[in-house]
Every structure is written in structure tokens, then in C-alpha cells.
């Protein structure tokens, strides 16, 4: 390469690094805002080495020289300055002559700006000026842009896809387009594992480095552990120019005080609570008290099915119900905020599906007067979209990420027990450990009466340790039998398992029972552990769960439910129900992360790779409808009974609070623990909750009380009405205790396993999709039409033909997996067999009792059960994980298609040892008169049969010679030119018959 070319190559890179798009003069497009044009034509048939265009108008020229030429030579300067006067008359320019002149040789850069008040000559620069540098320095451009703030973002350099996933590239591009169009708020939806924080780092770097609109960024989270993760991500992020880490160039730190904003740091990370603490001057503990949201007095009562107005008059119930609901309260702004509204230019709200945009709406709107706002989430709800003005610039779903191989798909393994499915009974005299949620005290009692409980009461208000034990035992037995049969059974290498518990108490119980079931020594403190807010350094525990071999089971409530990455995680177990679809999708997202085989084996030595994760559903969470928050919905009042009684006892006896009290008392009367309500009645015989609540409602509704003005008035009649309860302190405390509920542990209650297996619903969906896709392929692909018509040609069944078959299926069906479909067919056939057996048994019993079949369906079942069709019963012979040839055989896809089209009643791999021996022996018997069948020849044929059964048809003797020269030589010696006879015979028998 010539010296001139070397210099130009280096100059091109320097310009690109400064944010200029370098193009030839025949490649200029109006869509480019900042362009360096090579060899631009000037007057007098001259050419500028580079012409700089901003918004389509020329602003400066660059004179390029070899590295050995001195840039401050008079002739070089004279030549460059003369070019600023030679723009063609029809070329748009910001000024004539051009105000900017640059000299460059790949080693040095000299710069002159006619509008620089501090210098009239050339100055040495370490790099080329960025487009927005010139925009600020040229008055005419600055004045134009001042009236079009979105034009700031037009100067962003072209985004290069290198180093970015497609979804990240599209998200960044779309967000920048949104900024250029003048939108102040935008939402990016990226599936878990798609790299939301990395995408944010790229956005922040590009906006800070290439525009003058963004100087200070706030990255907002609502949990400290997410803030720590974001800080690490920004510190690890490397600039695209490769010169300095981002944090070295621009500064990143967690926001803790107002004073930090006086520094030059560009990115601050904070929780919303910490931000409000700084804004208001309140302590963090005071802010957390504002945001505690612990307003549900009836957490242990069944709110979904309760009828709080039961026992009230109809008109009174409506009013009580209305008064007991209100819009979700918001955190208000302080009168004198400690931070100005323009403290940040861009606020990125991480995990923005949460309530920070509703509870904290006023705080965000305050900063939103100036700042741009960008939301990041994997699971948006309507409220989220509304806050961001429905400007969803990217929507990359979990299913898309699985299709693209960024994440792995889930399979569901269902465990059902008697207690979980049907509930049980607390029998009279049974020992019960009763713990008050209010006092924390536990009493051991014997049940005085028989009480029934439902399956949904388990792990909410009742724990039956044997239920957890039964589930854990079922998981232990299934993990290497059903879930990961290809792995060596070694519980020290149990797949990393995350269990979701109802609460802290439940989590503790699960940990202890897990250790018991997996027979861990008493001193083993690592195998199963809680990761909850009460166990100390949760970040450290998450790190250990991610990296340590001896930490196999983690039990959490919500701490690891969202925003936490543990790539080696392979099993999620639900021991608590999840009603929120957003929370469920976030929980599910914990298992989708991909991981390299080497890294997986570092923590799970018996694993080969992670191509899926397993949801162990022990309570039916995958089968239930989920709730989605609705715009404009109402929320139950957050004031607790405890707080409500405090307000009323201090004289705040308004209609609103009195009616809320009536609502709560009615709920307690209808849903509270009967034994504890009996204790309350003994304490205060005159206090009948329903009657007392009705008197309050009648008084408020009929307006028999003097109106409430404020608590400074006597309010004598109102206080007299409430005195029965407010003056009885022991009754008040007992009421609060009943409202907060009780937790009952049933150590004597026994459970039993009903079912453990893969989800029939998911299996049915996958099988339906497979069979539907086969029908579509039969119309689109001649090969599949021939397979459907049972007229496949040998070419279709060859090695290349079967490779094509598998490739088409993978292309047609997302996450196509032969082993998974094999299991799905087995599961569905077993379920069908069980149903047929039960139906046939019921029909037989009916006939035996009455002499008449119950209905035609029963007759049909009996006929099938007693007919010749039993010989043709569809069945699946499972793939043998110990036989690699069998599990990976390309011919397995052929067998699946034949089974789906009912060409065969038995789904079995041709490479199955038993099946192959049967077929081979049958072939030998049928061809013994046509081919020699001594032991030596049989050994040769057996080798041919094994290859064909695994890989597909051998198309020619030449192909056989390439595969196995010795075998070809032996057969050729015996058959000569007819060597194809045994090959064709085995092809037809094994693959076409």
C-alpha cells in the first residue's frame, strides 16, 4: 500500500471514530446528517480530499497528506485555505468561504475555525471535531438547531451492527429514530436474556459522546441488587472506539447525595427510593415507610373469593364497598425539592413494568419536564405503555428470543399430590402448630373440631411438611429418570434448581426438607439455601449460586424472581401460586439464559449442554389464568386495620374511615379463623362484628350523625358510636391479630403422590403443531407429499435426503426436537391409555350391575378393548439415552413422520438394538434364497444394516466404498458388478417397508 493510501485509511478510521460517515461522492444521501465526502469536486476541476457536510450543507474541508509531509508547511496551509473559496456555485453551504479547515496525515490533525474567538490560526487537535462540536461552534448552525432540539440527534453516527445482536441493533436504531422525531418518552421491550442493560449502555454512550443534548443520565432501579448489577455493567462496558472503558471516560457511580451532581460523572445509578430521599431530604427508612405498600390486613384471608359485604344491607354494602376502594396513592413532591427538574437529561427506568411509574408518578413527571425517559422491560403492561405515551420502539418477545437461539425453551413437568389437588382435613384432636402473624408467637394446639382446607390454602395459611416432602421426593426420583436421563445420576451435580416459596416461613421449611430428602449431612450448609431479604448479603448468595458447585438448590420468595441472571440454572420449581402474568413471566425468565457448555460443566460436571430448562409445576401455576393490571383500575385501600384504628382513636372519625372499618370488620367476621373469633367473643361478649358494622353503615348512610369537619371538634356522637371497640384495647389487638391471620403447620398430616410427568397440555400443543406442520409441508414440499402417500423414493431416504428432511422440519417448526416429540407422544398415549382403561372399567362395571352399557361411547370402548385392534395399539418405545447412535439417528425424524401419519402403530428408532436385530433377522429369513447367508456374509450385511438404520439409505457402491472400503472390497469380491443387490435389498426393507 502506498504512503498516501495508508494515510487515507488512517484518516477514514479517525473520522469514523469522531462520528462522521465517510462516503465517496457518488454515495451521498440526504438521510445522512454528518458526512465526510471523499474527493469532492471544486471549481477549476480541483478536488477536496474530504468535504464535511452537516445536514446536507458544506461546513469545512480536509486536506490529506502523507505521514512524512509536515502539515504546518506554508504551501500545505495555503492550498487548504484556498479550497474553502472554491465550492461550486450550486453546492449548498452554511457559509462562503467555508469556516472550517483541517489538515491531516494520519498522524497529526491541524484545525482552524473562522469563528474561534481564541485563535485565528491552526491548532493541533488529538482527534477530528465531532459533528456536534462544529454545530455548537458555527453560529448559523447553532441558531437553526436552537429552534429544533430534536435535530441534536440527527448527528448521531451510523450505528454499526458489529458486536450487537439483531434485537439490540434494532432497538437502538428505533430509539434514535424516536428521538429524532421529537418523542420525549419511549419504551423498549426486550426479552429476558436479550441484553437490556447492554443495550442501555450503548444508547448512553452514543448519546453522550455524539450529541450535546445529553450530559447527565440517571439509571433508575427499584432494588439495590439491580443497581449493583447495573453499576457492574456500565463499568465493564467498553467504548466502540476501544480507547478507554466507558466509566473511565465519562464516570459512573451510584447516587447517594446532592453533592455528587457537582462532579463531572455522566451516569448515576439509583433506586427510586434513594432518589426521593435526596429530593425530599427524608431518610431512606422514612421513604421506605412511605412506599412499604403493606396495606393488606387480610393477607392470610382469601380475598379473591371473599364477599366482604355479606351480612350488610344492600345499600350499605354498596357504599362500604365504594368507600373501601380508592385510586392507588402516589408519593407526592416535597414543597422545596433539593434537586432541580433539569438535574438529568435522560432517565432510563429499568424493569419499568413495576409500579414506579404509578406510585412515583409525580416524582418522575417532575424530572420529565426536562429529561427524556426510556423504559426497559421484558414484560410490559398497559399501564407501562400508557406512561411512555404508547411509544413502544422495540418489542422483542421471549418466543422470538427462543426462536433466535438467544434463550432456551421451557418444558413443564407436573407433580400432583393429594393435598395439593384436593385439600384435606384437620381432624379433631390433630396436633396443630398455630403461629400468629401479628405477634409471631406459636402455640401447639389440638384441633377441637374437624376443619376442611383446600389445596390453595396450602403454603398460604397452612403448611403440611409432608406435602413438601412428597413433592421433593417426586422431583428427586424424576430428575435423572425423566428430566435429564442423559446425565449420570449424581445428586452432587443436581441441575441448579430455583424454588419459589410463598413466604419466608415456607422457604425455611423447604430448605430443611430438601436437605432431608436429598440426604445431606447435618453440617452441609451449602446444598440448599434461602436467598431472601432476611439472610444477609443476598448479592453474595446469588453470586455463589451462580458459580459454586456445592450450592444446588436455592429457595426464594421474590428476591430472585426478576432481574437476576443465573445462566447455569436449569430447573424452576413452583411451590406457590402466581396470579400476576407479569410476575410469572419474569419468574419463568430466570431459567431461559443460555450458557456455554464449558461454563455449564464448571458448575454442573455431569451436564453436556443446556438446550432447555424445566419448570417443575407442583401447584398448577402453568395451568391457571393470570391477571394483568388494567388502566384505570381500582386498588384496595392501603390503610391497614392497625393504622385505621389508630386514626379513629385519635379523633379522625370521618365517614370514609368509619365505612372502611365496617368493611374490614365484616371481612374478619366472615373470613377470620373461627377458633380465634370465638376467643374474641369470650373477651368481648357484647361486640358482635356484623351488627356493629351495620350500625356504622346505617349511621353514615342515613346521616343521623352530625357531619365530621375535623378532628379538633368534639365529634361526640361519632366517638360514642365507635366506643364499644375503640375503648376496648384487648379486643382491638385481638382483631388486628385475626386480621393479619394465622399460620398453621400440620406435622401429622400425610400426603401422597398422584401424578408426576411432563405436562400433557404442552405435549398436546407440540404434537398438534408438528402434525399440522406436516400437513402444510405435504402441500409445499414434494418429498413430504411422497412420504405422506407412502411412496418415498430411495433418494428421499438417503443420508442427504434425511438431512434435508430434518433441516426442513427445523426451519418450519420453532424449537423442533425429535427427543422432545418422542416424549410427547409417549405421554399423550399413556394418558389416553389411562383414560380408556378407566372408561372401559366404568362401562364394564355398569354392564355388570345393570346389564346395559351406559352409552354408545362405552360400547365403543369395550369393542375396541376386545377386538383385534388391540394388536395394532399405538405405542412408543423410548429412545435409549445410553445409546448415542439411537438418540441422534437422522432416521428418527422419518419414524416420527410415519407415526404422525399413522403409517405405523409403533414409534421406535430403527437404531434401537432390539428392533434392529428383529428387522435384520426378518430380512435374513426373507432373502435367504436370494443372497448367501453364511455367518461371514451375515456379519457384512449386519454392518450395512446398522449404518442404514442410523444414517439412511446407501445410494451406490461408490458411496459404500467411501464409507467403508474394507466392507466394499469384501462384498465386491462376492458380488462383483451386482454388489448393489444387498444394498438395495436392505435399503428397501429397513427404510421403505
User: Quick one: pLDDT at residue 132?
Assistant: 85
Q: Are 453 and 423 in contact (CB under 8 A)?
A: yes
User: Quick one: pLDDT at residue 844?
Assistant: 53
Going by C-alpha positions, the residue among 403, 410, 396, 407 that lies closest to residue 594 is 407
| Pairing verdict, β 497-500 and 462-463 | unpaired
- The model's confidence at residue 116, banded by pLDDT at 50, 70 and 90, is confident
Statement: residue 888 has pLDDT above 90: no
Statement: residue 430 has pLDDT above 60: yes
Cis peptide before 97 (omega within 30 of 0): yes
User: Quick one: pLDDT at residue 832?
Assistant: 77
| Pairing verdict, β 742-745 and 431-436 | antiparallel
Statement: residue 106 has pLDDT above 50: yes
| pLDDT digits 0-9 by tens, 459-482 | 778 899 999 999 999 999 999 988
Statement: residue 666 has pLDDT above 90: yes
Maximum separation of any 2 CA atoms in the chain, in Å: 118
Instruction: Give the mean model confidence (pLDDT) for residues 604-624.
Output: 92
User: Quick one: pLDDT at residue 896?
Assistant: 94
Q: 89-93 — which CB contacts under 8 Å span 24+ positions?
A: 91/58, 92/56, 92/57, 92/58, 93/57, 93/58, 93/59
Three cell numbers at 548?
459454586
Instruction: Give the mean model confidence (pLDDT) for residues 721-739.
Output: 94
Distance CA 7, CA 13 (A): 10
Instruction: Give the mean model confidence (pLDDT) for residues 777-782.
Output: 93
| pLDDT digits 0-9 by tens, 435-446 | 888 888 999 988
Instruction: Give the mean model confidence (pLDDT) for residues 363-390.
Output: 91
Instruction: Give the mean model confidence (pLDDT) for residues 656-680.
Output: 91
User: Quick one: pLDDT at residue 865?
Assistant: 35
Going by C-alpha positions, the residue among 325, 309, 305 that lies closest to residue 317 is 309
For the CA atoms of 269, 272, 277, 283, the dihedral, rounded to the nearest 10 degrees, stands at -100
User: Quick one: pLDDT at residue 91?
Assistant: 92
User: Quick one: pLDDT at residue 628?
Assistant: 65
Q: Around Cβ 606, how many Cβ atoms within 10 Å?
A: 16
- The model's confidence at residue 860, banded by pLDDT at 50, 70 and 90, is very low
Q: Around Cβ 954, how many Cβ atoms within 10 Å?
A: 24
Average pLDDT, the chain: 85
Statement: residue 556 has pLDDT above 90: yes
Going by C-alpha positions, the residue among 166, 211, 311 that lies closest to residue 693 is 311
Q: Around Cβ 775, how many Cβ atoms within 10 Å?
A: 13
Statement: residue 876 has pLDDT above 50: yes
| Pairing verdict, β 47-54 and 34-41 | antiparallel
DSSP H or E segment with residue 761: helix 760-780
- The model's confidence at residue 559, banded by pLDDT at 50, 70 and 90, is confident
- The model's confidence at residue 166, banded by pLDDT at 50, 70 and 90, is very high
Task: Name residue, grid cell 464448571.
Answer: 602
| pLDDT digits 0-9 by tens, 318-371 | 443 333 333 445 778 888 899 999 999 999 999 887 655 667 888 999 999 999
Statement: residue 973 has pLDDT above 60: yes
Statement: residue 294 has pLDDT above 50: no
Q: Which residue has the higher pLDDT, 50 or 451?
A: 50
Complete DSSP assignment for 688-722: -HHHHHHHHHHHHHTT-SPPP--TTS--HHHHHHH
Q: Is 495 exposed, middle or buried (0-12, 13-18, 19+ CB in 10 A)?
A: buried
Give percent above pLDDT 70 in the chain: 88
Beta strands, E only, 357-407 = 372-377, 392-396
Three cell numbers at 533?
431479604
User: Quick one: pLDDT at residue 835?
Assistant: 64
User: Quick one: pLDDT at residue 293?
Assistant: 38
Q: Which of 307-311, 451-455, 493-497, 532-536 has the lowest mean pLDDT?
A: 307-311
- The model's confidence at residue 297, banded by pLDDT at 50, 70 and 90, is very low
User: Quick one: pLDDT at residue 852?
Assistant: 44
- The model's confidence at residue 784, banded by pLDDT at 50, 70 and 90, is very high
Complete DSSP assignment for 856-897: HHHHHHHHHHTSGGGGG--EE----TT-HHHHH-THHHHHHH
Q: Which residue has the higher pLDDT, 534 or 688?
A: 688
Q: Which of 583-587, 859-863, 987-991 has the lowest mean pLDDT?
A: 859-863
User: Quick one: pLDDT at residue 355?
Assistant: 56
- The model's confidence at residue 987, banded by pLDDT at 50, 70 and 90, is confident
| pLDDT digits 0-9 by tens, 909-939 | 988 888 889 888 998 888 888 888 888 888 8
Q: Are 39 and 64 in contact (CB under 8 A)?
A: no
- The model's confidence at residue 313, banded by pLDDT at 50, 70 and 90, is very low
Instruction: Give the mean model confidence (pLDDT) for residues 231-250.
Output: 80
Instruction: Give the mean model confidence (pLDDT) for residues 253-265.
Output: 90
The gap from C-alpha 608 to its chain's centroid, in whole angstroms, comes to 24
For the CA atoms of 527, 530, 536, 539, the dihedral, rounded to the nearest 10 degrees, stands at 80
Amino acid at each position: 500500500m502506498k504512503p498516501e493510501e495508508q494515510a487515507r485509511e488512517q484518516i477514514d478510521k479517525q473520522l469514523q471514530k469522531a462520528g462522521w460517515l465517510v462516503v465517496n461522492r457518488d454515495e451521498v444521501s440526504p438521510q445522512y446528517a454528518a458526512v465526510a465526502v471523499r474527493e469532492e469536486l471544486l471549481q477549476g476541476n480541483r478536488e477536496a480530499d474530504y468535504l464535511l457536510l452537516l445536514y446536507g450543507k458544506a461546513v469545512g474541508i480536509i486536506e490529506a497528506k502523507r505521514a512524512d509531509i509536515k502539515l504546518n508547511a506554508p504551501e500545505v496551509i495555503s492550498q487548504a485555505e484556498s479550497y474553502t473559496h472554491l465550492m461550486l456555485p450550486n453546492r449548498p453551504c452554511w457559509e462562503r468561504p467555508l469556516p472550517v479547515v483541517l489538515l491531516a496525515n494520519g498522524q497529526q490533525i491541524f484545525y482552524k475555525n473562522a469563528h474561534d474567538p481564541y485563535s485565528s490560526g491552526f491548532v493541533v487537535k488529538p482527534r477530528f471535531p465531532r459533528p456536534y462540536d462544529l454545530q455548537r461552534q458555527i453560529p448559523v448552525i447553532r441558531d437553526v438547531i436552537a429552534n429544533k432540539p430534536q435535530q441534536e440527534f440527527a448527528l448521531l453516527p451510523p450505528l454499526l451492527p458489529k458486536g450487537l445482536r439483531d434485537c439490540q441493533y434494532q432497538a437502538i436504531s428505533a430509539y434514535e429514530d424516536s428521538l429524532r422525531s421529537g418523542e420525549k418518552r419511549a419504551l423498549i421491550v426486550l426479552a429476558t436474556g436479550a441484553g437490556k442493560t447492554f443495550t442501555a449502555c450503548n444508547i448512553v454512550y452514543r448519546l453522550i459522546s455524539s450529541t450535546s443534548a445529553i450530559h447527565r443520565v440517571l439509571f433508575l432501579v427499584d432494588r439495590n441488587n439491580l443497581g449493583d448489577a447495573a453499576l457492574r455493567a456500565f463499568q465493564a462496558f467498553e467504548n466502540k472506539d476501544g480507547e478507554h472503558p466507558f466509566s473511565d471516560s465519562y464516570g459512573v457511580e451510584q447516587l447517594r447525595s446532592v453533592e455528587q451532581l457537582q462532579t463531572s460523572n455522566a451516569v448515576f445509578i439509583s433506586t427510586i427510593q434513594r432518589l426521593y430521599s435526596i429530593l425530599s431530604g427524608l431518610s431512606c427508612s422514612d421513604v421506605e415507610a412511605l412506599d412499604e405498600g403493606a396495606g393488606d390486613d387480610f393477607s392470610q384471608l382469601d380475598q379473591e373469593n371473599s364477599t366482604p359485604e355479606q351480612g350488610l344491607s344492600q345499600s350499605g354494602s354498596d357504599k362500604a364497598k365504594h368507600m373501601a376502594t380508592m385510586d392507588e396513592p402516589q408519593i407526592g413532591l416535597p414543597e422545596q425539592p433539593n434537586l432541580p427538574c433539569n438535574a438529568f437529561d435522560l432517565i432510563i427506568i429499568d424493569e419499568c413494568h413495576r409500579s414506579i411509574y404509578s406510585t412515583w408518578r409525580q416524582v418522575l413527571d417532575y424530572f420529565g419536564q426536562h429529561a427524556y425517559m426510556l423504559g426497559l422491560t421484558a414484560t410490559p403492561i398497559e399501564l407501562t405503555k400508557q406512561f411512555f405515551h404508547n411509544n413502544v420502539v422495540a418489542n422483542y418477545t421471549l418466543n422470538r428470543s427462543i426462536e433466535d437461539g438467544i434463550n432456551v425453551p421451557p418444558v413443564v413437568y407436573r407433580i400432583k399430590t393429594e393435598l395439593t389437588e384436593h385439600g384435606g382435613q384437620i381432624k379433631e384432636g390433630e396436633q396443630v402448630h398455630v403461629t400468629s402473624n401479628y405477634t409471631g408467637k406459636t402455640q401447639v394446639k389440638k384441633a377441637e373440631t374437624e376443619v376442611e382446607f383446600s389445596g390453595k390454602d396450602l403454603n398460604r395459611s397452612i403448611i403440611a411438611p409432608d406435602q413438601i416432602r412428597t413433592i421433593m421426593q417426586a422431583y428427586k426420583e424424576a430428575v435423572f429418570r425423566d428430566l435429564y436421563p442423559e446425565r449420570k445420576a449424581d445428586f452432587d451435580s443436581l441441575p441448579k434448581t430455583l424454588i419459589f416459596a410463598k413466604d419466608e416461613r415456607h422457604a425455611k421449611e423447604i430448605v430443611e426438607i430438601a436437605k432431608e430428602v436429598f440426604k445431606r449431612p447435618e453440617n452441609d450448609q451449602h446444598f440448599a439455601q434461602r436467598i431472601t431479604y432476611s439472610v444477609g448479603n443476598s448479592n453474595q448468595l446469588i453470586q455463589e449460586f451462580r458459580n459454586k458447585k456445592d450450592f444446588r438448590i436455592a429457595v426464594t420468595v421474590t428476591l430472585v424472581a426478576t432481574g437476576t441472571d443465573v445462566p447455569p440454572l436449569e430447573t424452576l420449581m413452583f411451590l406457590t401460586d402466581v396470579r400476576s402474568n407479569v410476575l410469572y413471566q419474569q419468574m419463568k425468565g430466570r431459567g431461559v439464559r443460555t450458557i456455554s457448555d464449558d461454563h455449564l460443566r464448571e458448575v454442573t460436571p455431569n451436564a453436556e449442554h443446556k438446550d432447555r430448562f424445566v419448570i417443575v409445576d407442583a401447584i398448577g401455576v402453568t395451568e391457571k389464568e393470570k391477571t394483568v393490571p388494567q388502566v384505570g383500575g381500582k386498588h384496595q385501600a392501603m390503610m391497614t386495620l392497625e393504622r385505621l384504628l389508630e386514626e379513629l382513636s385519635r379523633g379522625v372519625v370521618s365517614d370514609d374511615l368509619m365505612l372502611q372499618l365496617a368493611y374490614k370488620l365484616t371481612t374478619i367476621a366472615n373470613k377470620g379463623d373461627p377458633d380465634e373469633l370465638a376467643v374474641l367473643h369470650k373477651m368481648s361478649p357484647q361486640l358482635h362484628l356484623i351488627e356493629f358494622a351495620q350500625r356504622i353503615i346505617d349511621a353514615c348512610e342515613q346521616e343521623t350523625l352530625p357531619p365530621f369537619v375535623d378532628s379538633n371538634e368534639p365529634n361526640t356522637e361519632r366517638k360514642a358510636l365507635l366506643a364499644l371497640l375503640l375503648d376496648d384495647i384487648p379486643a382491638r389487638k385481638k382483631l388486628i391479630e385475626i386480621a393479619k391471620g394465622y399460620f398453621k403447620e400440620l406435622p401429622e398430616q400425610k400426603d401422597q403422590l398422584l401424578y408426576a410427568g411432563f405436562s400433557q397440555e404442552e405435549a398436546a400443543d407440540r404434537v398438534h403443531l408438528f402434525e399440522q406442520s406436516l400437513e402444510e409441508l405435504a402441500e409445499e414440499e414434494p418429498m413430504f407429499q411422497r412420504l405422506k402417500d407412502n411412496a418415498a423414493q430411495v433418494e428421499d431416504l438417503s443420508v442427504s435426503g434425511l438431512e434435508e428432511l430434518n433441516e426442513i422440519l427445523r426451519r418450519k417448526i420453532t424449537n423442533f426436537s425429535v427427543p422432545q416429540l418422542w416424549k410427547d407422544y409417549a405421554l399423550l398415549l399413556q394418558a389416553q391409555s389411562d383414560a380408556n382403561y378407566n372408561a372401559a372399567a366404568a362401562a364394564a362395571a355398569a354392564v355388570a350391575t345393570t346389564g346395559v352399557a351406559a352409552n354408545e361411547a362405552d360400547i365403543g370402548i369395550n369393542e375396541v378393548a376386545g377386538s383385534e385392534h388391540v394388536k395394532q395399539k399405538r405405542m412408543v418405545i423410548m429412545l435409549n439415552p445410553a445409546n448415542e447412535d439411537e438418540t441422534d439417528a437422522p432416521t428418527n425424524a422419518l419414524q416420527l413422520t410415519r407415526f404422525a401419519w399413522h403409517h405405523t402403530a409403533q414409534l421406535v428408532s430403527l437404531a434401537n438394538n432390539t428392533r434392529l436385530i428383529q428387522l435384520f433377522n426378518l430380512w435374513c429369513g426373507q432373502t435367504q434364497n436370494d443372497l448367501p447367508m453364511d455367518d461371514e456374509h451375515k456379519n457384512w450385511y449386519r454392518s450395512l444394516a446398522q449404518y442404514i438404520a442410523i444414517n439412511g439409505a446407501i445410494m451406490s457402491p461408490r458411496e459404500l466404498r467411501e464409507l467403508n472400503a474394507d466392507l466394499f472390497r469384501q462384498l465386491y469380491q462376492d458380488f462383483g458388478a451386482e454388489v448393489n443387490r444387498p444394498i438395495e435389498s436392505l435399503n428397501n426393507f429397513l427404510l421403505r417397508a
